[in-house]
Chain A
């Protein structure tokens, strides 16, 4: 899939610094449709900062963002949403006390011609989207609070899908979840890939990453150590990239790679 011509997202030579500290320096990453790209690195390696530039939370000092090959000017979260970029927060950003349909449409409720909420239409669409993402999901009438963590995460993801997201940023999507629910989110991600949605996955869990991601980008000290297809490298080699910045033969080295002695 990575052989397609235009990447969905291309971030080229991005730099940003906070008070003289280079949080991200000359970093380039790309993402193709239907692909899951994982961003790995220690805390403070700059992966979250880099991705927040894409989601509009931070503004870059230098570099270019291309969406479908076109330069994109992303200044705030609204611009990002305008480009079809949606972020799934690790803190499960759903309103617990209302049902799934209400959460899916929160802030963009469907209304009848009389200006009242069109709950049935919203529920119908919610059933459609949820049926596609998570066919086992049946509890449309209950407050989201009654759902498991994985089901709530699928509500948050369905919300992004409903708003025509083509690029999903998932920041530690399974951090708050148990093993079964993590598996559920994994299934969801595979489902989204089939729909041609590109996903940036930020994770600490290297097992998750090897299960779900097609490629990994490893960052260290604000620089990209290198990137590789998950099929070309082993977990130990990727750990070596994270800890030492050492690029294995299967990976393509970036500016942050340790120079071979």
Chain B
């Protein structure tokens, strides 16, 4: 009894006598870890901006940054669930290569023979085929891990070699190109963006969704008369959320088409070429939308569905999960199937961006994906991790690389820096967790 008395008495005065900053964080219930990551990201951005004399924080660079991040970010969302259940997936890069190659062959060679060249269904069929194969490869890994009891490290290490080899066998090592024009939109670029108007519409819908989510959460808690956040805290969170979304749209809309493409577009559409040049905004790139969509869907799965609850429960205490009647083995299979499917989504983005499917596609991506998840706060001990954190982690890694490219740093040195940052990030996280206890 005395124990609980103590905890309740210490928690009450804590609110009163702490400084305004701590009180602010407590009232808004923001994840301080996530906040720290955003802080680190901003420091990296501003640092590179100073070092490159303002080249880093330009609409063009930021826009490219988001496009380059999207493929790894998509896979990182799945890697969170894998690592949360105390597993690892080393095969994601190879699955990306394999499904990318299959999608390439389907749209460049197989489907045109059946449907005729340029048939409008080709991109969708190729994508669907890739997703199914990705899910099947992942499920196969999951079955071996869950039912045959082979550690995931070994199964996916085998997968890393097997699927890279299988990629070679699809075309005997030949590169497949070009991709279907519609499929290529998934890679971003001038045409693979949704333009200024649609970007604003997407931004406004996102803002409305944020506000609706806040109101709904508040209503739900009112229904059961639970303690609620102060109203000002809700306004602050809603305001910051909407400002971030609209700021992002503004940046995407400030990056205009290259002059040559704009001129060609003007000629094709009989638009008079104005004196100052025609400024057509890119808007949000489609791969970025895909990545954000994947992030939202995966967050929903992880936090709102039973499946997600089971994933975290298994990560926290596998025996307790088993005793509670959770079919832990099937959950594992489903996690890996989901991971495989996300690899196929990432493969679609990267083959579309490259406009080709190659043998080497996705090499080393498994390491970047794992690093993104871990930098994003996913604990290798299991049970802890967020999708948003992993996506931010991917953005941090890509920012580092992109900044170093702008600075003209050689690839070997880039790798050294990225590797050092990974270790540093995990060390800082360990320190943070030890303090939090």
Contacts and interface: CB of A to CB of B under 8 A. Distances in A.
A216 B220 CA distance: 48
Nearest to B303: A117
Interface stretch (B157-165, B282-290, B309-317, B404-412): B309-317
Interface in A119-136: 120-121, 123-124, 127, 134, 136
Q: How large is the interface on B (under 10, 10 to 19, 20 to 34, 35 or more residues)?
A: 20 to 34
A98 interface: yes
Interface string A76-106: 0000000000000101011111100011001
A26 interface: no
Interface string B296-319: 000010011110010011111101
B164 to A, nearest CB: 34
Nearest to A125: B224
A181 interface: yes
Contact of B325 (A102, A107, A124): A107
A98 B317 CA distance: 10
B268 interface: no
Nearest to A156: B320
A190 B303 CA distance: 36
B321 interface: yes
Contact of A151 (B4, B303, B316, B317): B4
A112 B319 CA distance: 27
Nearest to B29: A141
Given A97-B384, A136-B1, A136-B8, A109 B306 contact: yes
B232 interface: no
Contacts of B306: 109, 111, 117
B312 A184 contact: no
Contacts of A106: 309, 313, 320-321, 324, 326
A98 B313 contact: yes
B31 interface: no
A117 B7 contact: no
A115 interface: yes
A226 B11 CA distance: 49
B420 interface: no
- Which 9 residue pairs spanning A and B have beta carbons closest together? A107-B324, A136-B4, A97-B316, A97-B383, A95-B316, A95-B313, A106-B324, A124-B224, A107-B325
